[in-house]
Structures are given as structure tokens and as C-alpha cells.
């Protein structure tokens, strides 16, 4: 079965075709990077206007890989920015109507998880894919720009939310802190670049909120504030050098990854699970990937850990099409509407 996925929940405009939920047939995306960079972040109406220009050529390119057509369409209907979501949802509805194909609405957060279900590619792109998809029950950690969630997944479409962030998401914490120390847009990934420049000569300590609490919730806003004051204090003292910024970025990355890895591995030991799944843009952070692998491989050597290949961590349509295959519940076009506040 060939499913066309469409994703426009934030600043990416993406389309992809997936065969039987696991094989990448095409993977196309455009980002409003230049506009965002100019304004220092996503400006929703400007992004949506740009997505309006991108959407048809992107879908056209994704469909070019399937001369015999597709069987169904999956589209992100929330959560996200309303203007952006509307472009994907309304385009998908028009296409479903014109091609007379079923349309499957997908929650963006559920979509992220399916970045771990791809096992083969028919494209020329190189992905580091697993040989088999995850097995159930699975413990899922979603870490993105807007969400940090721990979830038990007993089957496709069967989720139990264990905990989530009480305030900021992990990605948001990286982004805001990157901005504080004047890193380039999009800030978060540059925390990793800045941290790599730390020489270890300046030692700083930031808090690790809720790390030892016997619950599954996260909190990152206090860490963000501590980062801000550590930097302001250094500015007042005249010691906010590039070395200091690198040391601060390093410690922030250590604090966020310590919290995520510690809670994830504790939950993994508490529940009887078969696989461990990580998803979301922050899963692209190499220090997080490295710490997850080393901690979980030594503490739970028989439980397989899944982290998507780097290209499938941040927003894309591959995982939306895969999620639509494994959660195949087409709905009538009239009933599908964009839902920016959709929860897990």
C-alpha cells in the first residue's frame, strides 16, 4: 500500500510516499529557514504564506516517484500553528477528493514516533535504518520544540501518557538558551556546536530539575532561568567570553540530557517493556543519542533502543505516512479539521 504523507504543522512543508508503512519511496521537504532567520524565529503568517507556495511543488515531487498512483493520503491535523496546519489539511482534502482516495488524519506527536518504523528506502538518500521495527510494549520518549513526553505504547494507536513537561519543552529550553548567548538561528542545534568547543577549563553547574522526583514529569523552565542568570552574572563580571559561552552550552546540554536519560532509563526499568523508542527534533542531539545508547545498553542490554536516523528526527512527512499506514482510520473529508491545540 502506498501512502502519501503531508506535514505542515510548523515551518516545514513536507511530502513523502511510504510503501506498507516501512519503505521510503520519496521524501521531500522545504523549510522557511531564510524568513525565520531574518526574524529570529517562526513568524506564523509569513511562514504560512511561504508554505502556500511550497506545498504543490513539494507534493508533485513526492508523487513523481509513483507513476501508478497512491492508495491513500495521511495528513498532520495538529498540534501546531493554525495557518500552517490549514495549508496541509486543506490541500490534502482537495487532493483526496480529486483523486478519490481515503484521507487519514494524523496527530503530529504520534507521527514523530513512527520515524522509528522505517526499515528500507527506494530513494537515493542514505538513511541509517534499523533492520526491524520496534516491538510492543514500548516506552516512548518524545522530545521536540513544543513537547517532552514519556509514553507507554502497548500497540499501534494504544498509548498511555506517563508524564510530560510541566512548563517548557526540552527543545524550547535549548532554543531560548541559545538565543541568550547569541547563537545563530535556529539556536537549539547550535548549543551542540557551541558545547563541542568547550575546553573543560571553565566548570559550571546548572540545576537538573525533577531528576530525582518519583514521577515521570519534566520541568525545564528553572534550568532556562538559571542559564540566563549565569550568563548575566558573567556579563556583569566581564567574564562572558566565548570560552564561557561554550562552557555554559556544554553544561546546559549535560543537564538536559542527564534529566532525559535518567527518567527514561528509570521508567524503562520500572515497566516491563520490549523496546525503547526516542522521537522528536531533540533526538538529533548527538550527546543525547550517545548517552542514551551507553546508559541503556549497559543497564538494559536485552531491550532494543530505537532512535530515528538524523534526517527523520526533525519534522518530515515520512513518519506521517508511516503513522497513517499503522493507524489506518480514514475519515470523511467533511469531518477532518486542523486542530492546533491537539494533545497526545
Beta carbon nearer to ligand KG4, 65 or 228: 228
Residue 113 binding partner per list Zn ion, ligand KG4, none, with a CB distance cut-off of 5 to 8 Å that depends on partner kind: none
299 and 265 in contact (C-beta within 8 Å)? yes
Please report whether residue 107 would count as binding Zn ion according to CB under 5 A.
no
| Closest distance to ligand KG4 from the beta carbon of 69 (Å) | 30
Nearest to 244 by CA among 288, 185, 200: 200
Beta carbon nearer to ligand KG4, 85 or 96: 85
* Sequence-ordered alpha helix ranges (H) in the chain: 33-39, 44-63, 82-99, 108-113, 170-180, 188-196, 221-237, 242-270, 286-299, 318-326
Please report whether residue 320 would count as binding ligand KG4 according to CB under 6 A.
no
Residues between 282 and 311 with contacts to ligand KG4, criterion CB under 6 A: 282, 284-285
27 and 316 in contact (C-beta within 8 Å)? yes
Please report whether residue 8 would count as binding Zn ion according to CB under 5 A.
no
Nearest to 338 by CA among 19, 26, 46, 51: 51
Beta carbon nearer to ligand KG4, 122 or 290: 290
Q: Buried b / exposed e across 297-324, counting CB within 10 Å, b at 16+?
A: eeeeeebbbbbbbebbbbbbbbbbbbbb
Please report whether residue 172 would count as binding Zn ion according to CB under 5 A.
no
A 10 A CB-CB count for 56 gives 13
Sheet with 158-164: list strands edge to edge: 158-164, 148-155, 138-143, 275-279, 304-306
Residues between 126 and 145 with contacts to Zn ion, criterion CB under 5 A: 144
Beta carbon nearer to Zn ion, 188 or 209: 188
The span of 17-25, 126-134, 172-180, 236-244 binding ligand KG4 (CB under 6 A) equals 172-180
Residue 185 binding partner per list Zn ion, ligand KG4, none, with a CB distance cut-off of 5 to 8 Å that depends on partner kind: none
Please report whether residue 134 would count as binding ligand KG4 according to CB under 6 A.
no
DSSP letters, 133-160, are: ---SSEEEEEE-SS-EEEEEEEETTEEE
Residue 175 binding partner per list ligand KG4, Zn ion, none, with a CB distance cut-off of 5 to 8 Å that depends on partner kind: ligand KG4
Residue 111 binding partner per list Zn ion, ligand KG4, none, with a CB distance cut-off of 5 to 8 Å that depends on partner kind: none
| Closest distance to Zn ion from the beta carbon of 176 (Å) | 17
Please report whether residue 83 would count as binding ligand KG4 according to CB under 6 A.
no
What are the two backbone dihedrals, phi and then psi, of residue 147, each rounded to the nearest 5 degrees? -140, 145
Kindly tell me which residue out of 7, 12, 251, 315 binds Zn ion, with binding defined by CB under 5 A: 315
Whole-Å CA distances, 229 to 89, 116, 166, 187: 42, 38, 21, 18
**Which residues would be at the binding site for ligand KG4 (CB under 6 A)?**
10, 144-146, 171-172, 174-175, 186, 188-189, 191-192, 280-282, 284-285, 314-315
Amino acid at each position: 500500500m502506498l501512502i502519501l504523507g503531508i506535514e505542515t504543522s510548523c515551518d516545514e512543508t513536507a511530502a513523502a510516499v511510504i510503501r506498507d508503512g516501512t519503505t521510503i519511496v520519496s521524501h521531500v521537504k522545504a523549510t522557511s529557514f531564510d524568513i525565520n532567520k531574518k526574524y529570529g524565529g517562526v513568524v506564523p503568517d509569513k511562514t504560512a504564506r511561504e508554505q502556500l507556495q511550497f506545498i504543490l511543488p513539494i507534493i508533485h515531487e513526492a508523487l513523481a516517484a509513483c507513476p501508478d498512483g497512491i492508495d491513500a493520503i495521511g495528513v498532520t491535523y495538529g498540534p501546531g500553528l493554525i495557518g500552517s496546519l490549514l495549508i496541509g489539511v486543506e490541500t490534502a482534502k482537495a487532493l483526496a477528493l480529486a483523486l478519490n482516495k481515503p484521507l487519514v488524519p494524523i496527530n503530529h506527536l504520534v507521527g514523530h514516533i513512527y520515524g522509528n518504523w522505517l526499515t528500507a528506502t527506494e530513494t537515493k538518500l542514505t538513511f541509517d535504518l534499523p533492520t526491524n521495527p520496534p516491538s510492543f510494549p514500548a516506552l516512548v520518549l518524545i522530545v521536540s520544540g513544543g513537547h517532552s513526553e514519556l509514553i507507554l505504547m502497548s500497540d499501534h494507536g494504544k498509548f498511555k501518557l506517563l508524564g510530560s513537561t510541566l512548563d517548557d519543552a526540552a527543545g524550547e529550553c535549548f532554543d531560548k538558551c541559545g538565543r541568550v548567548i547569541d547563537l545563530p538561528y535556529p539556536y537549539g542545534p547550535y548549543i551542540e556546536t557551541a558545547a563541542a568547543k568547550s575546553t573543560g577549563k571553565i566548570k559550571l553547574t546548572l540545576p537538573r530539575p525533577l531528576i530525582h522526583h518519583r514521577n515521570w514529569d519534566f520541568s525545564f523552565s528553572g534550568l532556562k532561568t538559571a542559564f540566563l542568570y549565569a550568563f548575566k552574572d558573567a556579563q556583569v563580571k566581564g567574564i562572558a567570553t566565548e570560552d564561557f559561552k561554550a562552557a555554559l552550552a556544554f553544561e546546559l546540554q549535560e543537564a538536559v540530557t542527564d534529566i532525559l536519560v535518567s527518567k527514561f532509563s528509570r521508567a524503562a526499568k520500572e515497566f516491563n517493556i520490549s523496546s525503547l523508542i526516542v522521537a522528536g527534533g531533540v533526538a538529533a542531539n548527538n550527546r543525547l543519542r550517545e548517552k542514551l545508547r551507553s546508559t541503556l545498553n549497559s543497564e538494559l542490554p536485552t531491550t532494543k533502543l530505537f532512535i530515528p536516523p538524523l534526517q527523520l528526527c526533525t519534522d518530515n512527512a515520512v513518519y506521517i505516512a508511516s503513522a497513517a499506514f499503522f493507524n489506518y482510520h480514514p475519515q470523511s473529508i467533511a469531518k477532518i479539521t486542523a486542530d492546533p491545540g491537539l494533545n497526545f
